[in-house]
A and B are shown apart, each in its own frame.
Chain A
């Protein structure tokens, strides 16, 4: 089998892995031999037909796997072509792509060939070739395989910029059901080991400039959404816990795409729950950048996201007593809670209002988008001239168009008397406003 076929098989097997970020590694510009640098903000090199950014060469070392996780294309019982890169083939391919500026680095994962230790050793061999004889100083993200020896994971951390352990499914029960070879314990153990390795390395870097670095871009994880029955609230609580306990940089969500028929799985003609995944990412951003807690976004009574409103708008609508806020006075934290204002706009407002009081025109000029924010703000004590702020039109401005359009497509009306999108939006707004 030549490299072309191997690349095809092993890319196809890796594509359901979500992470493709190259950020967080700091700005480095090594001076010595070899090739490669990293930028803290990360660089996207292209966008594939599904709209996802491609920044790393995302492949598996091998898709031969001893495990039999029901949701996975590479499970032992699946009849699919198998292949394995040799460390040299993979290193050559990476260098060839990197040199032509196709990629920002390598994202290497692997099926569990023989046992977790053997699979990890294969990954290490490839990375040692890249970091050693090839002097590659670009970005590397490696997967730690649950159950591998801590010493091997330690070595992996010295070679890679970022490590990740997939948590796979949001609860122990689901794991037992769908991934019989994995347990909560052997997923969380390497996660904790990596966290400790990072902390330790950061501490010794304070003391010694040349102390070895351990996964300087931190660790991340991912879980599959929609294969099992957890609610959004449970997933969000878990996510928050992971950020707090394991200091993760990112938690990724992957809408389940049916790859197998099994009585324990959703039926193969299920559409991937893309909207749900989208809402989870929105909530994830609220946790990381908007100083929200999971309790504010969802709670015991409201276990699932509102499909028509994003989580931030949903929160705002339920807390109308806090609005409108005065742009020139509101603390930064409160500006962040205004629908339509994110960290960038909030920072710009905070900086610009030091130079003078802001009015509505100034807001537009500094680049604050008012489409949604106008209903929640006052400038110098006045609302936007000519704008009537009622519950009705506030809700209408906040409604997310995409799910409404979807609902329209699914509606039971015939094609002739199907209501127009605008009308559907009107009705949805009325419903939401009356529920407030």
Chain B
């Protein structure tokens, strides 16, 4: 049993950093009181210890889980990192320790509090990512597709392979308003950037026409004799609605379009650039994602 220490591990906020914290805890045979990314560190009575990110060490943890335990256990730890669980790092550490003790059966031990907490948290995040595969809406902005999302978990890395494979010959951008991250796919290359704010240019006439058609389809496809708002809401919770094209009435857009037309048709011409991106060289910058093979 590792001894409990009054120390807080601090890491750079990336997945590799978290895996290095797990390595550190194994190496020192201890369990820290907490593990925190440096961005979220708050003053406390405990001693804070900086854990340096070392790719080789992170790889040893990831590979160890994958090969000595099971791919599923490795998936749980990696997905945990993307969740909003308040103690996700510590949970990942406890789960990893258990995984190396018990081997591949660990993910089946759902009766164990650590395992059920870890697996259910990861599964929920996976579920949200799956929802976003359907509920994300792109707008055509001068030939480039742009979408915004507001997920609870950091789903972007999970949905990236899906969208990169599906829209392989397009250029697109997905901006996560909550986690201030953006996925950019261009020339069959993916990039994850930290983006603090994003303003999209007003939609073109073509884009508005597509939205209008979609809203009409959405309205027409419902059968009046079977209207069932509760069923609709339980399948599609309201928190998704404010970014869904079909749940906006489109009045505002039409007004904006009319105003733009009055001001001169020039503004409606497709523009080569898409919005303003304030990219920052922070954690996760330049990470490449490969399409699902």
Contact = CB atoms under 8 A, between A and B. Distances in A.
Contacts of B218: 46, 48, 54
Contacts of B110: 348, 351-352, 362, 365-367
Contact of B229 (A29, A49, A100): A49
Contacts of A37: 162, 165-166, 292
A63 to B, nearest CB: 13
B113 A100 contact: no
Interface string B80-108: 00000000000000000000000001001
Nearest to B107: A351
Contacts of A8: 216, 220
A358 interface: yes
Interface stretch (A11-19, A283-291, A332-340, A388-396): A11-19
A97 B145 CA distance: 12
Nearest to B210: A96
Nearest to A359: B111
A4 B227 contact: no
B153 interface: no
B75 interface: no
B214 A99 contact: no
Given A35-B167, A101-B147, A54 B221 contact: yes
Nearest to B139: A100
Give the most central of B110, B138, B167, B291: most A CB within 10 Å.
B110
B169 A352 contact: no
Give the most central of B135, B213, B223: most A CB within 10 Å.
B223
Interface band, chain A: 35 or more
A50 B137 contact: no
Interface string A19-44: 00000000101010111110101011
Given A50-B232, A257-B223, A348-B110, A33 B217 contact: no
A367 B116 CA distance: 9
Interface residues of B, number: 54
Interface in A49-75: 49-55, 57-58
Interface in B17-72: none
Contacts of A407: none
Given A7-B216, A50-B223, A352 B108 contact: yes
A51 B232 contact: yes
B226 A274 contact: yes
A272 interface: yes
Interface string A356-397: 101101100111000000000000000000000000000000
A3 interface: yes
Nearest to B224: A50
Contacts of A29: 165-166, 291-293
A136 B7 CA distance: 56
B272 interface: no
Interface in B130-150: 130, 133-140, 145, 147
B6 interface: no
B166 A49 contact: no
A406 B254 CA distance: 43
Interface in A219-255: 255
Contacts of A34: 169
Given A43-B130, A101-B147, A53 B137 contact: no
29 contacts: A3-B213, A8-B220, A15-B222, A29-B165, A34-B169, A35-B168, A35-B169, A37-B165, A39-B133, A44-B235, A47-B232, A49-B227, A49-B232, A51-B228, A57-B217, A97-B213, A99-B138, A99-B140, A102-B246, A138-B166, A257-B225, A257-B226, A274-B226, A352-B110, A355-B105, A358-B111, A359-B111, A362-B111, A365-B110
Closest 4 CB pairs of A and B: A51-B231, A362-B111, A366-B110, A29-B165
Given A7-B213, A138-B166, A257-B225, 4 more contacts: A43-B133, A272-B225, A272-B226, A355-B105
